[in-house]
Amino acid sequence: MAEEKSGSVQNLMTENRVFYPSQEFTDKAKVSSRQQRDELYRKSVEQPEEFWADMAEQNIDWFKKWEAVEEYDFTDNIFINYYRGAKLNASYNCLDRHLKTWRRNKAALIWQGEPYEDSRTYTYLQLHREVSKFANVLKNIGVKKGDRVTVYLPMIPELAITILACARIGAIHSVVFGGFSAESLRDRILDSNAETLITTNYGLRAGKILNSKEIADNALAECPAVKNCVVVKRLDKDCNMVEGRDHWWHEAMAKAPLDCEPEQMDAEDPLFILYTSGSTGKPKGVMHTTGGYMVYTTSSFKYIFDYRDEDIFWCTADIGWVTGHSYVVYGPLSAGATSLMFEGVPNYPQPDRFWEIVEKYRVNILYTAPTGIRAMMRDGEKWPLGRDLSSLRLLGTVGEPINPEAWMWYHINIGKEKCPIVDTWWQTETGGILITPLPGCIPTKPGSATVPFFGLKPKVIRQDGSEAGVNEGGYLVIEKPWPGLMRGVYGDPERFKTTYFVQYPGYYFTGDGARKDEDGYFWLMGRVDDVLNVSGHRLGTAEVESALVAHAKVAEAAVVGFPHDIKGEGIYAYVTLKEGIDFSDELKKELVAHVRKEIGPIASPDKIHFSNALPKTRSGKIMRRILRKIAAGDVDQLGDTTTLADPSVVDSLVSGRQ
Ligand code: WTA
C-alpha cells in the first residue's frame, strides 16, 4: 500500500516518496517491525560474535564447530577469519541435509531453456544424484581438493551441477561468463592455473547459436596446463573433440558411480574464485571461502527475500556473475528453496519472455537488474499486462543504481503496487547483499538501497577520512568485516591490500560514491574509480583501452562512461590513430569488432570518437574529467582547462563529439 497513490511516472524524480509494505505482507514477514529489525541490527553490530554464531547455528550444518567466530585486522596485516577450525561442506548444505527432510522431493532447481519446450526440474534428491555423479567424474579425471576448475558454461543445469560438484570435492571453481571471448577465457584460466575446463559444444542466445567449444579450443590452444575438458552436449550437433583431452559430459556421467562423500572443508578453505574488473587492465580473481560465505548467503537470502518454503524464487542473473553464485545457487539451495534458472534473455522471442515465465511457473519472488527493467519499460506496458503476474509478492533489483522512474514502473506494472521492492546494493567482493530494505519492515524510497543488513557498518566519508554530513556525497566504506567478505585476490595478496584497504586505513573501501539522508538511508551514486557499470556488468576502462591499443592501427585510446537510457552507462572511446591512418566508418566497425573479440560483446563501445590528440596535462596525464564531460554532452561546464599542455585540443574534441 503506497502512502501516496502512484501518479504519472514523469513527476517522480523528486525522490521523496515513501512506500510502506502492505499489512498483509508485514503480518507474514520474518521481520515485521522496525523495532524488531533495529534490535537485531543492534545485536549484530554490538555483539557480532554472538550474532554470527547464532546465524551459523541456525543456517548451516557443520561437521565440526568453530573455536572462534570472528577474527580480523583491517589496518596492518589485513586478514579476515570466520569460524576458525570449523568444518563443513557447501554442497552438503545445499543438498544432502535437505534429503533428511520432506524437502527431498521438493523442486530444488527449475530450469527453463531458451526454447519454450526445453525445461527440466530437479528435486533435491535428483540434484544430489547429478552432483554426486559429476563429483565422481571430476575425481576420475584427477581433480583434487584445492585444484582450480574453470567453468565456461551457459545458463544450463550442468552449470549449477558443476559448481556444486566442485564444492563437494573441495575443488575451487572459477566460472567465466559465457559471453566472454577466447582471450578473456584464456587469461582467466592462466591466472588461476586451472588444469580442468568444463564447457559446452554450443550455446543459445536470442535465437543465435554460439560456438562455445570453438571459443574454448582457441583459449586452450594457449593453456597447455589444461589436461581435461568436459563438454556438455547442449545442441545435438558435432564439434571438435581433442582425443585424450576432451570428454563428453553424458558419456562420463553414464559411467559415474552415484555416491560421493562430501569433503570436510575447513571454514576458511577457498570455495571459489570469480574474476571481476577493477581500475587496472587485468581483472582480479576475487576469492571467497566456505564457512563465512555460506552463512552469509544463506542468512541474507532468508531475511532479504523473506523466503517461505512454498515460494518459487527467480533470480534472473547469470551464474557467470556473483549474483548468480550467491542467489541462484548457494543462498537459495542452502535455504532449501526452489530456485528458477533461465537460459535466455528478457526480450526474445518477444518482449514478454520474463512475464511468460512468471505466469508459467507462478513465480513469487523476482530478483532482476535495472537495465532489464528499463528495456522492458521502453517496450511498453502491454507486455506485462498481457500476462498473469498475480503470483508475485516480492520484487528485487541489483547491479546498478535504479532510477526512480524505472523503480516506479516496476512497482506499478510488475508489482501492481502491492509487492515491496528490495533494491540491494553489493559487490562481487562482498559475497552477498549489504545494503537493502528488509521487505516487511523498512519503508522504501525509489532509488535508495535504504539501510545496512545485519552486521554491517557502512559509512560515507570525505576524501580526508572524516564522516560526511547528512546528504553530503562521499566515499562509501565499511568499518568492519562480515562473514561474506572476500578473503583475497587469487595469487596477489598485495593487490587485495592496495585495492581495498590502503586508501582509507581501517576501512574496506567499496569504490562507490554514496550519500546518507536524514533517515539514515543510503543512496548509491555509482563508481568513483575507473570502473564502468554497463547494463549491470562491471568493466574497467583500462581493459577496454588495452583492447583498443592492441589493434594495429590504434596509437592511443581513452575510455569513459556516459549516461545511457537503457544500459545505465554506455562506453565512449576516444581513439587516436597511428601516423598515416585515416578515420573511417569502416575502421570504427573494425574496432568495435576487435574489442568484442578481445573481451566479449559486453565490452562493445557504443561510441568511437576519432581525434588527433587527447587532452593531457603537462606531465602527460590524460584528463578524464574533461573526456567524461564531453561524452556526456556537458560541454558548457568543462571546468579549468588551463593546466592542459595544449588547451586547443578541447575545442576540436567538443566539435567532434559523437
Ligand atoms: C554497483 C554485483 C547501486 C556498484 C552484485 C557496485 C549498485 C557494483 C547496486 C558491483 C545497487 C550493485 N545500487 N549500485 N543496488 N548493486 N551496484 O561486482 O557500483 O558485478 O560497486 O556485483 O555494482 O558490481 P558487481
pLDDT at 12 over 60: no
Per-residue pLDDT of 290-348, as tens digits, reads 999 999 999 999 999 999 999 999 999 999 999 999 999 999 999 999 999 999 999 99
Residue pair 121/109 in contact (Cβ under 8 Å)? The answer is yes
Looking at ligand 1, which residue's alpha carbon is closest to its atom 24?
427
Which residue, 613, 627, 424, 619, is CA-closest to 532?
A: 627
Question: Do 557 and 613 have their domain in common?
Answer: yes
Å from CA of 427 to ligand 1 middle: 5
620 and 511 part of one domain:
no
- Statement to judge: residues 188 and 252 lie in one domain: yes
Provide the grid cell at 300: 541474507
Over 50: is that where the pLDDT of 3 sits? no
Residue nearest to atom 25 of ligand 1 (CA): 427
Domain count, the chain: 2
Residue to substitute in 328, 499, 500, 533 for testing ligand 1 pocket (most ligand atoms within 8 angstroms of CB): 533
Given the CA of residue 511, which atom of ligand 1 is nearest to it?
A: 21
Which residues are known binding-site members for CoA? 205-208, 323, 347, 535, 596
Please tell me whether residues 539 and 511 are part of one structural domain.
no
Per-residue pLDDT, 4 = 35
487, 515, 543 — which closes off a domain? 515
When pLDDT is averaged across residues 385-390 and rounded to a whole number, the result is 98
Kindly state whether residues 539 and 496 are assigned to the same domain. no
Residues 496 and 563 grouped into a single domain: no
Q: Are 497 and 546 members of one domain?
A: no
Atom of ligand 1 at shortest range from CA of 435: 15
Nearest CA to ligand 1 atom 5: 427
Model pLDDT for residues 601-647, shown as the tens digit of each residue: 999 999 999 999 999 888 788 888 899 999 999 888 888 887 888 88
Mutate which of 275, 402, 425, 434 for ligand 1 pocket (most atoms within 8 A of beta carbon)? 425
CA atoms within 13 A on the CB side of 86: 27
Check whether 8 has a pLDDT greater than 70.
Answer: no
Residue-level pLDDT at 245 = 98
**567 in any annotated domain:** yes
C-alpha dihedral (268, 257, 111, 215), degrees to nearest 10: 80
- Give the CATH number, domain containing residue 114: 3.40.50.12780
The dihedral built from the CA positions of residue 400, 28, 49 and 46, taken in this order, carries a sign that is: positive
Is the predicted pLDDT of residue 208 greater than 60, yes or no?
Answer: yes
Domain that holds residue 607: 535-656
Structural domain contains residue 365:
no
CB distance 399 to ligand 1 below 6 Å:
yes
Same domain membership, residue 445 and residue 314: yes
Is residue 465 domain-shared with residue 508, that is, in the same domain?
A: yes
CATH number for 636? 3.30.300.30
Q: Kindly state whether residue 238 falls inside one of the protein's structural domains.
A: yes
Q: What is the pLDDT of residues 228-255, one digit of tens each?
A: 999 999 999 999 999 999 999 999 999 9
From 434, 429, 481, 477, select the one nearest 453 (Cα to Cα).
434
What is the overall mean pLDDT for the chain? 95
The ipTM (two decimal places) reads: 1.00
Residue with cell 571481476: 276
Q: Which residues are annotated as part of the binding site for ATP?
A: 399-401, 423-428, 512, 527, 538
Contact 608, 592 (CB under 8 A): yes
Measured CA to CA, the distance from residue 630 to residue 572 in angstroms comes to 10
Q: How far is the CA of 330 from the centre of ligand 1 (A)?
A: 19
Q: Residue 526 C-alpha to ligand 1 middle, in angstroms?
A: 8
Clarify whether residues 331 and 236 are in a common domain. Answer: yes
Which atom of ligand 1 is nearest the CA belonging to 526?
A: 19
pLDDT band at 7 (very low <50, low <70, confident <90, very high): very low
Residue 618 confidence (pLDDT): 84
Residue 505 lies in a domain: yes
**Are 486 and 623 in the same domain?**
no
Is position 5 within any domain? no
- Provide mean pLDDT across the span 180-203: 97
- Residue 538 CB–ligand 1 contact under 6 Å: yes
Task: Please indicate, yes or no, whether residues 509 and 570 belong to a single structural domain of this protein.
Answer: no
Pure H helices in 362-465: 370-379, 382-385, 404-409
- Atom 1 of ligand 1, nearest CA residue: 400
Q: Does 258 map to a domain?
A: yes
Ligand 1: does its nearest atom lie under 6 Å from the Cβ of 424? yes
Q: What is the pLDDT at residue 14?
A: 56
Q: End-to-end CA distance of the chain: give it in Å, rounded.
A: 45
How is residue 344 written as a grid cell? 535466455
Indicate the helix (H) or strand (E) that contains 184.
Answer: helix 182-192
105 has a pLDDT exceeding 70:
yes
Q: Is 527 part of any domain?
A: no
pLDDT beyond 70 at 1:
no
Q: Which of 515, 548, 581 marks a domain boundary?
A: 515
pLDDT of residue 572: 97
Residue 306 lies in a domain: yes
